[in-house]
Structure 1
Amino acid sequence: MAEAGVRTAGLGDAAEIARIQVTTWQSAYEEVLPPAVLAGLDSSVAEREWRETISDGPATVLVAEEGRWTVGFCAAGPAPDGEVAAADGSLPADASTTVLVSALLVEPRWGRRGHGGRLLATVGRRLAETGATRGISWVPEADSATLSFYRAAGWNPDGTVRTLDAGGRPLREVRLTGSLEFEFEHD
């Protein structure tokens, strides 16, 4: 395997992050999202949104590289109250130090090479240095690969679920949570 690593994303990475997002969703979520939703994904819109996120935050955006190729990305930052709240709306005692991993994708052709683990470990380490103590992420209940990935990292469902409207089809997501010290760090 060529040299692999993780670095902070720059504005010049926005187009490749958008391409990876659209490509990965269209292949990995074809059983989860309606065809019209997947066909309607627009990389130019996604690129603009990623440029804004990279330049204005509040998320930390990282990219994974293998050799000269960008192969994945991760975005994580302070968890909004609505994302970390219990089903009854109450906030946990650690709400202010909980982060949300809002995106973590590795293009399928680059999968199973440790890129996802490196991304998650790096973002966890960086956010822990700012005082974060715990992370959460929402994952489609039908996405067994991503659920297995997070479980391997030591994150588990906390019992909270939500249902989103995915182009007229309900999409049930489970919230996973865990420490920012990961079991599978790859340096």
Structure 2
Amino acid sequence: MNIRKATVEDAKGMARVHVDCWRSAYEGILPSDLLNNLSYKDREQRWIKNIPLSTSGGSMTFVVENEEGKIVGFALGGTMRDARLRMKYTGELYGLYVHPNNQQKGFGKKLFESVVHHLVSLHHSSIALWTFKGHHSCSFYNHLGGEKVYDKKTTIGGTELTEWAYGWDDLSSFPINIDQLN
């Protein structure tokens, strides 16, 4: 397993992970036509445009490669964007995706820790994230010590959903590996 800062050259691999994760994880949650219309090419173009923005100014995107050097996941985080959560949580995990064929192997936990380490290096002491109510990621975030702290309604593709915010009030419980901060 190799975790490193994402580069524009990673866009194709990240797009594959992103689309496959959405299609797998959100089946039955998001409208089928929305999931069916996701395209690797479109996501790749978005990542080519967004990676430079998501690896600067306090934000960071990490990719994880398997033993063969193939990107199997990514995570990104930075300063809290949501005004409702900003008073208590200064950092935010914007997204964490591990390809469905590579879940339950520790990649997600290591990506999460990499984002936490980055945010701690920027003097953030707490973080939060959003996920969908009842989504399988809820148990993952519970396992990592997150607590449900807020919920909100959102509409995606004409479907009303409930999002849950999970928060970590004290990032000092995550051991910091000095090598990951460099």
Task: Tell me the TM-score normalised to structure 2 length.
Answer: 0.87
Structure 2 unpaired stretches of 5+: none
Shift in alpha-carbon separation, 1:84–1:100, aligned structure 2, 3 A: farther
The equivalent of 2:76 in structure 1 is 75
Q: Which moved more, 1:22-31 or 1:46-55?
A: 46-55
Shift of 1:62: 0.3
1:51 to 26, 48, 52: 48
Q: Spell out the pairing of 1:9-158 with structure 2 (5 A cutoff).
A: 9-57=6-54, 58=57, 59-67=59-67, 68-80=69-81, 83-85=82-84, 91-92=86-87, 94=88, 98-143=90-135, 145-158=136-149
Give percent identity, aligned residues only. 25
Please, which runs of 5 or more residues in structure 1 have no aligned partner?
Answer: none
Whole-angstrom distance in 2 between the partners of 1:56 and 1:119? 19
Aligned partners of 2:92, 2:137: CA distance in 1, in Å? 15
Aligned to 2:153: 163
Deviation at 1:181, TM superposition (A): 4.2
Q: Which of the numbers 145, 165, 179 marks the counterpart of 1:175?
A: 165
Aligned partners of 1:182 and 1:5: how far apart in 2?
23
* Contact 1:24–1:107 under 8 Å retained in 2: yes
1:183 CA displacement: 5.5
Q: Quickly say closer, same or farther: Cα 1:180–1:5, change in 2 above 3 A.
A: farther
Aligned pairs, number = 173
Aligned position for 2:4: 7
